[in-house]
Structure 1
Amino acid sequence: MITIKNVCKSFDGRMVLKDISATFEKGKTNLIIGQSGSGKTVLLKSIVGLHDIDDGEIFYDETRFDTLSFTEKKQIRQKIGMLFQGSALFDSATVEENVMFPLDMFTEMTYEEKLERVNFCLKRVNIVNSNHLYPAEISGGMKKRVAIARAIALNPEFLFCDEPNSGLDPKTAVVIDQLIKEITEEYNITTIVNTHDMNSVMGIGDKVIFIHQGQKWWEGTKDDILDSDNKELNDFVFSTELTKKIKGLK
């Protein structure tokens, strides 16, 4: 579980995050949504520690993260998996080498042990017989799955996904969404997904937090969205008329 309390962040005197508090639950897909510029990406990066917050508290389980030293934060980060927007695979490394990278960095496993873990993770994301291919030789959907395999290589307790469906066709996007949800539940991971894809929200949104102008404007489940009378949320999710039609069918 990750808990944030009264988090504030500003850049050059401009307040980007304003007093945000939330709890991200273990074993669930926790989604952060909002318009471009709303602060959702800054929030995600602040939780991971890529941005130092100005005020507030960030807890990973019972450990307060924001006040830790660099070395202490590194110990927490070894429990974190990251799925970046563009997959962020190393172009000059094979699929196998990409997934093995965190194992090389953070473990003292033998090569045989690392290879066994790599193959396990690749099989879990339904990639076989592709170990020696390079990113340029595989599809966008396969790149995302390789990135997920790399993200879970260290068996993380926390998983962060930044726009995981960016650049994917709708059918492949659904596959990636379901894979993230399955892995979250299977390994009881605290997963936080930053997205603007409403198909993802309505498909896997166990918990949804809507950020508006740097503030937490609404939170609930995917099912709660259709019953919400929050104007800003409805404006973001639906057109006004579509909202009325969908709610009228319930």
Structure 2
Amino acid sequence: MIQAEGVCKSFDKKEVLSDINAVFEPGKVNMIIGKSGSGKTVLLKSLIGLHTIDAGRILYDNRDITVMNSNQLKEIRKELGVVFQGGALFDSLTVLENVKFPLNLFSAMSEKEKIERAIFCLKRVNLENVENLYPAEISGGMKKRVAIARAIVLQPKYLFCDEPNSGLDPLTSIVIDNLLSEITHEYNMTTVINTHDMNSVFEIGEKVLFIHEGHKEWEGTNENIMYSDNKALNEFLFSSKLNKMVREKLRRKC
């Protein structure tokens, strides 16, 4: 479980996050949603320690990362898997080398064990016989699956994904959503996904946090989100930018 308690963050005296309190539950797909500029990406980066917060605490199973030294943070990071927007694969490394990369940093495995573990993770995301290819030689959806394989190679307790469906077609997005949901439940991970994709929210989002102008405006499940009386959330859900399919799904459920 991950807890954010009173989290505040400012840049150049501009407050981006204000008193955020939230719980991200293990064995569930936890989603952070909100408009561009709402602060959700800053929150995600704060949760994984890429931003130092100005106030509050961030707890990983009651371990406060905001007071940890560099060695303690390194130990925590062994328990984290991160899928960055766009995949963030190393272009100069093969698929296998990309997936092995965290093992080179954090494990004491032999080279044979690293290769076996990396290939196992590639198979888990339904990729076979691609280990010797380079990122430029595979599709966008395959790149995302390689990034997921790399993120789970250390068997993390916590998985973070920043816009995992960004740039993907609808069918490939469904594949990625299903994969993230499957591995979350299979490994009982605390999965936190930052997304604009409301199709993903309604299909796999078990816990949803809505951020608006740096504040937590709403928190609940994808089952009760359409019954919210929060004005900002309803405006976000029914905005013209949302997929027509999502709006229709909301109307049917209401």
The alignment yields a C-alpha RMSD, in angstroms, of 1.5
SS at match of 2:17: strand
Identity among equivalent pairs (%): 62
Q: 2:84 is aligned with what amino acid? A: F
Matching residue of 2:193: 193
Q: d(CA) in 1 for partners of 2:4 and 2:38?
A: 18
- Distance in 2 (CA, whole Å) between partners of 1:61 and 1:160 is 16
Q: Residues 59-70 of structure 1 correspond to what in structure 2 (within 5 A)?
A: 59-70=59-70
Q: Aligned partner of 1:201: which letter?
A: V
Give the match for residue 123 of structure 1.
Answer: 123
| Aligned residue runs from structure 1 range 151-170, under 5 A | 151-170=151-170
3-state SS, counterpart of residue 35 of structure 2: coil
For the residue of structure 1 that corresponds to 2:144, the secondary structure is: helix
* 8 Å Cα contact 1:102-1:150 kept in structure 2: yes
2:164 & 2:46 partners in 1: Cα distance?
18
1:10-89 aligned at under 5 Å gives the runs: 10-89=10-89
Distance 1:195 1:61 in 2: 24
The alpha carbon displacement at 1:245 in A equals: 9.1
Q: Which amino acid aligns with 1:164?
A: P
Matching residue's letter, 1:131 = E
Instruction: Give the superposition deviation at 1:244.
Output: 9.5
Q: 1:16 to 1:111 in 2, by over 3 A?
A: same
How much has 1:226 moved relative to structure 2? 1.4
The separation in 1 between residues aligned to 2:146 and 2:253, in whole angstroms, is: 40
Separation in 1 of the partners of 2:125 and 2:27? Answer: 18
Match of 1:183 in 2: 183
Q: Which one is further off, 221-230 or 157-166?
A: 221-230
Match in the other structure for 1:98: 98
Q: Displacement, 1:211?
A: 0.1
In the alignment, structure 2 segments of 5+ residues that lack a partner are none
Supply the distance in 2 between the matched residues of 1:108 and 1:41 (Cα, whole angstroms): 33
Please give the secondary structure, in 1, of the residue aligned with 2:133: coil
Which letter does structure 2 place at the counterpart of 1:92?
A: S
Secondary structure of 1:226's counterpart equals helix
| Letter of the 2:149 counterpart | A
> Does residue 230 of structure 2 align to residue 230 of structure 1?
yes
**3-state DSSP class of the match of 2:67?**
coil
Q: Which amino acid aligns with 2:136?
A: A
The whole-number CA distance in structure 2 between the counterparts of 1:218 and 1:194 is 15
What's the CA shift for 1:246?
Answer: 4.1
**Deviation at residue 228 of structure 1 after TM alignment:** 1.3
Aligned to 2:210: 210
Instruction: Give, as a single letter, the amino acid of the residue that structure 1 aligns with 2:215.
Output: Q
Alpha-carbon contact 1:227-1:247 (below 8 Å) kept: no
Distance in 1 between residues matched to 2:34 and 2:119, nearest whole Å: 36
TM-score normalised by length of structure 2: 0.95
Cα distance, 1:159–1:248 mapped onto 2, change above 3 Å:
closer
Aligned partner of residue 224 in structure 2, secondary structure: helix
Q: What SS class does the counterpart of residue 192 from structure 1 fall into?
A: strand
The CA distance in 2 between the partners of 1:33 and 1:167, in whole Å, is 17
- Could you say if the C-alpha distance between residues 189 and 95 of structure 1 is closer, same or farther in structure 2, counting changes exceeding 3 Å? same
Q: CA deviation at 1:56?
A: 0.4
Counterpart Cα distance in 2 of 1:87 and 1:226? 31
- Cα deviation code 1:39-60 (max 9, x no counterpart): 0000011111111111001100
Report if the CA contact (8 A) 1:39-1:211 is conserved.
yes
